[in-house]
Amino acid sequence: MAQTIKLKRSATPGSVPSTSSLSLGEVAINTYDGKMYIKKSAGGYDQVIEIGSGGGGGSSTTLYATQIVYEYVATASQTTFSGSDVNNLTLAYDTGTPPKVQVFLNGILLNEGSSADYVATNGTSIVLNDAVSVGDLVQIAAYKSSISFALNLDLEDNQKILLGDTDDLQIYHDGSNSYIEDAGTGNLILKSPQVEIDGNLKIAHAVVDTVTVTTTATASTQVDSFSSSEIRSCRYTIQITNSTDNTYQITEVLLIHDGTTPSMTEYGTIFTGAAIESTFDADITAGNVRLLATPASADTMIFKVVRHSITV
């Protein structure tokens, strides 16, 4: 009679077996994700790794779940255990709810929690609620996990990359737009010597945009435009470089419209040549407000325009 052999398995999306749930060499399957895992041991560390690639979309993924047992011999009235243990291993574990640790006192498993036996919140120390006696053996089984990718990580629309103990930072695409969402407490902080944005920058009801236009004639030329239904008013900063004469001009323009007619004023004009390089006007055509430049000569002129806009 034919027999069906079933391996240890889970149908929960994204579920990865822990080192404690598998024996050395044992295989487990996630039937929802179509992934297989095996427990291995090397250098004194237990790991659960994915067998082969992650299927679908050409991503190759390796998941690691490592268990390390730290051992401390207590001093009199000691409550906090951190840093190097008797084997010169430095305590580290994954935080979360609950934290990824098990704590044993003289071989007896303790309960985690501020109203129980210990608390583990920072990933580097364990604090017992009651002091232990000198010579007591405290063992901490700590779990740490990591993931590495050899190729792309492919997620479907509305599937999120979740970061933080309570999924505070979320990165995803909803089919139309892409999001980096800070869904928890605190601020979203970008730390870099320089942040470059290739495209428009929209901040709530404000938009910052840049454009560059080159002219070689005296005809009226569009140097910027925007939808009259989306933006009501703006302030332009315009720099003109006359590369033929090596002369320059900077000016500012305030512009507002009522949907039919634009109104504008130019101010703060400074130029290095004998006269201004260009004059400016505006109109509305096909639902778009246009900023028009009329160069004073056919010299090669480069217009760099920065627009700060306020939406309708």
Of 64, 69, 67, nearest in space to 89 by CA: 69
Q: What is the CATH number of the domain that holds 283?
A: 2.60.40.1680
8 A C-beta contact, residue 256 and residue 262: yes
Q: Residue 3 is encoded by which pair of tokens?
A: 């027999």
CA geometry: angle at 153 spanning 149 and 156, to 5°? 160
Q: For a pLDDT cut of 90, what percent of the chain falls above it?
A: 53
Residue-wise pLDDT for 150-184, tens only, equals 667 778 888 888 888 778 899 999 999 999 998 88
Q: What is the pLDDT of residue 43?
A: 60
Q: What is the mean pLDDT of the chain?
A: 87
Bridge partners of residue 90, in order along the sequence: 84
Based on the fold, state whether residues 99 and 133 are members of the same structural domain.
Answer: yes
**Any domain includes 175:** yes
Buried b (16+ CB within 10 A) or exposed e, 24-33: eeeebbbeeb
Question: In terms of residue numbers, what domain contains 81?
Answer: 68-142
Does the pLDDT of residue 226 top 80, yes or no? yes
Residue 265 lies in a domain: yes
CA distances (Å), origin 127, targets 113, 123, 124, 132, 138: 10, 11, 10, 11, 11
Do residue 212 and residue 304 come from a single domain? yes
Question: For residue 62, is it within any domain?
Answer: no
Q: Structural domain tally of the chain?
A: 4
Instruction: Report the pLDDT averaged over residues 214-232.
Output: 97
CA–CA gap between residue 119 and residue 16 (Å, rounded):
25
Using pLDDT thresholds of 50, 70 and 90, give the confidence band for residue 56: very low
d(CA 30, CA 37): 8
pTM of this prediction?
0.52
Based on the fold, state whether residues 134 and 106 are members of the same structural domain: yes
Tell me the Ramachandran region of residue 83: left when phi exceeds 0, alpha when psi lies from -120 to 50, beta otherwise: left
How much is the pLDDT for 60?
A: 54
Same domain, 72 and 169: no
In a domain, 243, yes or no: yes
Same domain, 305 and 239: yes
* Residue 60, in any domain of the structure: no
pLDDT of residue 58: 44
Shared-domain flag, residues 163 and 258: no
Confidence of residue 55 (pLDDT cuts 50, 70, 90): very low
In a domain, 124, yes or no: yes
> Could you read off the pLDDT of 85-135 as tens digits, one per residue?
999 999 988 887 778 889 999 999 999 887 889 999 888 999 999 999 999
* pLDDT at residue 57 tops 50: no
- Residues 127 and 178 placed together within one structural domain of the fold: no
pLDDT of residue 75: 95
Residue 150 lies in a domain: no
- Structure confidence at residue 143 as a pLDDT band (50, 70, 90): confident
**Same domain, yes or no: 305 and 219:** yes
* 191 within a domain of the structure (yes/no): no
Average pLDDT over residues 267-296: 97
Q: 73 and 39 share a domain?
A: no
Whether 209 and 287 share a structural domain: yes
* 26-52 pLDDT per residue, tens: 888 888 888 888 888 766 667 788 776
Residue 227 has a pLDDT of 96
Give 134's contacts (C-beta < 8 A, 6+ positions apart).
Answer: 74, 75, 76
Starting at the edge strand that comes first in sequence, how are the strands of the sheet with 161-163 ordered?
Answer: 161-163, 169-173, 178-182
Residue 205 shares a structural domain with residue 271? yes
Do 126 and 163 have their domain in common?
no
